Protein backbone atom coordinates (compact mmCIF):
# COMPACT_ATOMS: atom_id res chain seq x y z
CA UNK A 1 0.00 0.00 0.00
CA UNK A 2 1.51 3.35 -1.02
CA UNK A 3 1.87 6.12 1.50
CA UNK A 4 -1.22 8.32 1.71
CA UNK A 5 -0.60 12.03 1.44
CA UNK A 6 -4.23 12.94 2.02
CA UNK A 7 -7.42 11.59 3.56
CA UNK A 8 -10.92 12.47 2.39
CA UNK A 9 -13.49 12.20 5.16
CA UNK A 10 -17.23 12.07 4.91
CA UNK A 11 -18.70 14.30 7.64
CA UNK A 12 -22.17 13.11 8.68
CA UNK A 13 -22.03 9.95 10.82
CA UNK A 14 -18.33 9.52 10.07
CA UNK A 15 -16.80 12.45 11.91
CA UNK A 16 -19.83 13.31 14.02
CA UNK A 17 -23.18 11.88 15.13
CA UNK A 18 -25.54 13.66 12.76
CA UNK A 19 -28.46 11.28 13.25
CA UNK A 20 -28.95 12.47 16.84
CA UNK A 21 -28.49 16.10 15.79
CA UNK A 22 -31.15 15.77 13.07
CA UNK A 23 -33.71 14.38 15.52
CA UNK A 24 -32.97 17.19 17.97
CA UNK A 25 -33.18 19.84 15.24
CA UNK A 26 -36.50 18.53 13.96
CA UNK A 27 -37.99 18.75 17.47
CA UNK A 28 -36.87 22.36 17.82
CA UNK A 29 -38.35 23.21 14.42
CA UNK A 30 -41.65 21.63 15.44
CA UNK A 31 -41.77 23.80 18.57
CA UNK A 32 -41.36 26.87 16.37
CA UNK A 33 -44.07 25.65 14.01
CA UNK A 34 -46.48 24.89 16.85
CA UNK A 35 -46.31 28.51 18.04
CA UNK A 36 -47.99 29.59 14.80
CA UNK A 37 -49.94 26.47 13.87
CA UNK A 38 -51.00 24.89 17.19
CA UNK A 39 -53.39 22.47 15.48
CA UNK A 40 -50.51 20.51 13.93
CA UNK A 41 -49.64 17.54 16.15
CA UNK A 42 -46.08 16.34 16.55
CA UNK A 43 -47.04 12.90 15.23
CA UNK A 44 -48.51 14.37 12.06
CA UNK A 45 -45.53 16.67 11.59
CA UNK A 46 -43.05 13.79 11.89
CA UNK A 47 -45.11 11.63 9.53
CA UNK A 48 -45.17 14.38 6.90
CA UNK A 49 -41.50 15.24 7.39
CA UNK A 50 -40.45 11.63 6.81
CA UNK A 51 -42.75 11.34 3.81
CA UNK A 52 -41.35 14.51 2.22
CA UNK A 53 -37.76 13.44 2.81
CA UNK A 54 -38.47 10.04 1.24
CA UNK A 55 -40.23 11.61 -1.75
CA UNK A 56 -37.40 14.06 -2.41
CA UNK A 57 -34.55 11.59 -2.03
CA UNK A 58 -35.91 8.23 -3.20
CA UNK A 59 -38.73 9.02 -5.59
CA UNK A 60 -37.55 12.30 -7.12
CA UNK A 61 -33.83 11.66 -6.52
CA UNK A 62 -33.11 15.31 -5.87
CA UNK A 63 -29.57 16.17 -4.82
CA UNK A 64 -29.13 16.88 -1.12
CA UNK A 65 -27.69 20.35 -1.72
CA UNK A 66 -31.02 21.48 -3.19
CA UNK A 67 -33.04 20.68 -0.07
CA UNK A 68 -32.93 23.84 2.00
CA UNK A 69 -35.98 25.57 0.52
CA UNK A 70 -37.96 22.86 -1.26
CA UNK A 71 -37.89 20.57 1.81
CA UNK A 72 -39.82 23.07 3.95
CA UNK A 73 -42.07 24.21 1.13
CA UNK A 74 -43.17 20.62 0.59
CA UNK A 75 -43.76 20.08 4.32
CA UNK A 76 -45.96 23.19 4.48
CA UNK A 77 -47.96 22.07 1.44
CA UNK A 78 -48.47 18.55 2.84
CA UNK A 79 -49.63 20.04 6.16
CA UNK A 80 -51.96 22.33 4.21
CA UNK A 81 -50.43 25.46 5.74
CA UNK A 82 -50.10 28.83 4.06
CA UNK A 83 -46.72 29.11 2.37
CA UNK A 84 -45.39 31.82 4.65
CA UNK A 85 -42.06 32.96 3.24
CA UNK A 86 -40.98 34.31 6.63
CA UNK A 87 -41.77 31.13 8.55
CA UNK A 88 -40.07 28.96 5.92
CA UNK A 89 -37.01 31.24 5.95
CA UNK A 90 -36.88 31.07 9.74
CA UNK A 91 -37.22 27.30 9.78
CA UNK A 92 -34.41 26.90 7.24
CA UNK A 93 -32.16 29.05 9.42
CA UNK A 94 -33.30 27.39 12.64
CA UNK A 95 -32.72 23.88 11.32
CA UNK A 96 -29.23 24.74 10.07
CA UNK A 97 -28.34 26.45 13.34
CA UNK A 98 -29.64 23.62 15.50
CA UNK A 99 -28.02 20.94 13.37
CA UNK A 100 -24.60 22.52 13.70
CA UNK A 101 -24.99 23.04 17.46
CA UNK A 102 -26.18 19.52 18.31
CA UNK A 103 -23.51 17.42 16.64
CA UNK A 104 -20.91 15.58 18.70
CA UNK A 105 -17.61 14.10 17.58
CA UNK A 106 -17.32 10.35 17.75
CA UNK A 107 -14.77 9.07 20.25
CA UNK A 108 -11.24 9.08 18.88
CA UNK A 109 -11.89 11.49 15.99
CA UNK A 110 -9.96 14.49 17.31
CA UNK A 111 -7.04 12.32 18.43
CA UNK A 112 -6.92 10.82 14.95
CA UNK A 113 -6.99 14.24 13.27
CA UNK A 114 -4.19 15.49 15.50
CA UNK A 115 -1.99 12.53 14.59
CA UNK A 116 -2.71 12.95 10.89
CA UNK A 117 -1.71 16.61 11.05
CA UNK A 118 1.52 15.67 12.82
CA UNK A 119 2.28 13.42 9.86
CA UNK A 120 1.49 16.34 7.50
CA UNK A 121 -1.40 14.48 5.91
CA UNK A 122 -3.85 16.70 4.03
CA UNK A 123 -7.35 16.42 5.48
CA UNK A 124 -10.46 17.29 3.48
CA UNK A 125 -14.17 16.95 4.22
CA UNK A 126 -16.32 15.78 1.29
CA UNK A 127 -19.97 15.86 2.27
CA UNK A 128 -23.32 15.80 0.53
CA UNK A 129 -25.29 18.93 1.36
CA UNK A 130 -24.64 22.66 1.38
CA UNK A 131 -21.38 24.34 2.27
CA UNK A 132 -22.88 26.74 4.83
CA UNK A 133 -24.26 23.92 7.00
CA UNK A 134 -21.13 21.77 6.76
CA UNK A 135 -18.81 24.67 7.57
CA UNK A 136 -20.99 25.63 10.54
CA UNK A 137 -20.78 22.06 11.86
CA UNK A 138 -16.99 22.02 11.54
CA UNK A 139 -16.76 25.37 13.31
CA UNK A 140 -19.00 24.24 16.19
CA UNK A 141 -17.08 20.97 16.56
CA UNK A 142 -13.91 23.07 16.83
CA UNK A 143 -11.96 20.92 14.41
CA UNK A 144 -11.53 23.50 11.64
CA UNK A 145 -7.86 23.90 12.66
CA UNK A 146 -7.20 20.36 11.42
CA UNK A 147 -9.16 20.61 8.16
CA UNK A 148 -7.48 21.84 4.98
CA UNK A 149 -10.65 22.01 2.86
CA UNK A 150 -14.41 21.61 3.24
CA UNK A 151 -16.14 20.51 0.04
CA UNK A 152 -19.92 20.23 -0.07
CA UNK A 153 -21.95 19.03 -3.03
CA UNK A 154 -23.43 22.46 -3.75
CA UNK A 155 -19.92 23.59 -4.73
CA UNK A 156 -19.72 20.77 -7.27
CA UNK A 157 -23.42 20.61 -8.16
CA UNK A 158 -23.18 16.85 -7.69
CA UNK A 159 -23.71 14.55 -4.72
CA UNK A 160 -21.55 11.55 -3.90
CA UNK A 161 -21.28 8.92 -5.32
CA UNK A 162 -20.93 10.89 -8.55
CA UNK A 163 -17.33 10.61 -9.71
CA UNK A 164 -17.12 14.36 -10.20
CA UNK A 165 -17.30 14.86 -6.42
CA UNK A 166 -14.09 12.86 -6.01
CA UNK A 167 -12.19 14.20 -9.02
CA UNK A 168 -13.01 17.77 -7.95
CA UNK A 169 -11.68 17.00 -4.47
CA UNK A 170 -8.43 15.64 -5.90
CA UNK A 171 -8.02 18.83 -7.94
CA UNK A 172 -8.55 21.01 -4.87
CA UNK A 173 -5.99 19.19 -2.72
CA UNK A 174 -3.55 18.68 -5.57
CA UNK A 175 -3.09 14.94 -5.10
CA UNK A 176 -3.43 11.88 -7.32
CA UNK A 177 -5.87 8.99 -6.93
CA UNK A 178 -3.27 6.66 -5.44
CA UNK A 179 -2.13 9.26 -2.90
CA UNK A 180 -5.40 9.58 -1.00
CA UNK A 181 -7.89 7.46 0.93
CA UNK A 182 -11.61 7.91 1.52
CA UNK A 183 -13.17 7.29 4.95
CA UNK A 184 -16.96 7.05 5.13
CA UNK A 185 -19.95 5.28 6.63
CA UNK A 186 -22.11 4.89 3.52
CA UNK A 187 -21.63 1.87 1.28
CA UNK A 188 -22.79 3.55 -1.93
CA UNK A 189 -21.97 7.23 -1.49
CA UNK A 190 -18.57 6.83 0.14
CA UNK A 191 -17.24 3.35 -0.57
CA UNK A 192 -18.53 2.63 -4.07
CA UNK A 193 -18.09 6.28 -5.02
CA UNK A 194 -14.43 6.22 -4.01
CA UNK A 195 -13.77 2.88 -5.71
CA UNK A 196 -15.30 4.11 -8.96
CA UNK A 197 -12.89 7.06 -8.77
CA UNK A 198 -9.96 4.64 -8.19
CA UNK A 199 -9.50 5.82 -4.61
CA UNK A 200 -8.72 3.49 -1.71
CA UNK A 201 -11.73 3.27 0.63
CA UNK A 202 -12.11 2.70 4.36
CA UNK A 203 -15.56 1.72 5.64
CA UNK A 204 -16.26 3.28 9.06
CA UNK A 205 -17.89 0.81 11.42
CA UNK A 206 -18.04 3.04 14.52
CA UNK A 207 -21.39 4.81 13.87
CA UNK A 208 -24.23 3.10 15.74
CA UNK A 209 -25.99 2.28 12.48
CA UNK A 210 -22.92 0.41 11.18
CA UNK A 211 -21.85 -1.49 14.30
CA UNK A 212 -23.60 -4.65 13.14
CA UNK A 213 -22.84 -4.17 9.46
CA UNK A 214 -22.43 -7.30 7.39
CA UNK A 215 -18.95 -6.74 5.99
CA UNK A 216 -19.28 -9.84 3.81
CA UNK A 217 -21.15 -7.65 1.34
CA UNK A 218 -17.81 -5.95 0.62
CA UNK A 219 -15.94 -9.16 -0.09
CA UNK A 220 -16.10 -8.60 -3.84
CA UNK A 221 -14.17 -5.36 -3.44
CA UNK A 222 -11.52 -7.02 -1.31
CA UNK A 223 -11.07 -9.76 -3.88
CA UNK A 224 -11.18 -7.74 -7.06
CA UNK A 225 -9.73 -4.35 -6.16
CA UNK A 226 -8.01 -4.73 -2.79
CA UNK A 227 -9.27 -1.23 -2.07
CA UNK A 228 -11.59 -1.62 0.90
CA UNK A 229 -10.61 -1.91 4.54
CA UNK A 230 -12.81 -1.77 7.64
CA UNK A 231 -12.17 0.53 10.57
CA UNK A 232 -13.74 -0.33 13.93
CA UNK A 233 -12.48 2.89 15.51
CA UNK A 234 -11.03 6.11 14.06
CA UNK A 235 -7.53 5.58 15.44
CA UNK A 236 -7.26 2.34 13.46
CA UNK A 237 -6.71 4.52 10.40
CA UNK A 238 -3.27 5.42 11.71
CA UNK A 239 -2.19 1.81 11.21
CA UNK A 240 -2.40 2.38 7.46
CA UNK A 241 -0.54 5.72 7.43
CA UNK A 242 3.19 5.09 7.02
**Tens-place pLDDT, residues 3-59:** 799 999 999 999 999 999 999 999 999 999 999 999 999 999 999 999 999 999 889
**Tens-place pLDDT, residues 122-160:** 999 999 999 999 999 999 999 999 999 999 999 999 999
Write down the pLDDT at residue 53. Answer: 94
Q: Which is higher by pLDDT, 170 or 216?
A: 170
**Tens-place pLDDT, residues 162-178:** 999 999 999 999 999 99
**Which of 71-85, 93-107, 122-136, 205-219 bottoms out in mean pLDDT, i.e. has the lowest?**
205-219
Write down the pLDDT at residue 242. Answer: 66
Write down the pLDDT at residue 220. Answer: 61
Write down the pLDDT at residue 157. Answer: 93
Rg (CA), the chain: 19
Write down the pLDDT at residue 158. Answer: 92
Write down the pLDDT at residue 35. Answer: 97
The arithmetic mean of pLDDT across residues 52-78, rounded, is 92
Task: Flag whether pLDDT at 75 surpasses 80.
Answer: yes
Amino acid sequence: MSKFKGVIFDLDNTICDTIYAIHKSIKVCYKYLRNYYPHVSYEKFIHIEEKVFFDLTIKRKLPVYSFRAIYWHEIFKELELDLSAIHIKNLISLYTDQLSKNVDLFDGIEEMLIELKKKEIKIVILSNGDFLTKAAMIEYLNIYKYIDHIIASDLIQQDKPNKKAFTYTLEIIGLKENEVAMVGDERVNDIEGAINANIFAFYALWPEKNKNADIDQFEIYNKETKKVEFLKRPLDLLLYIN
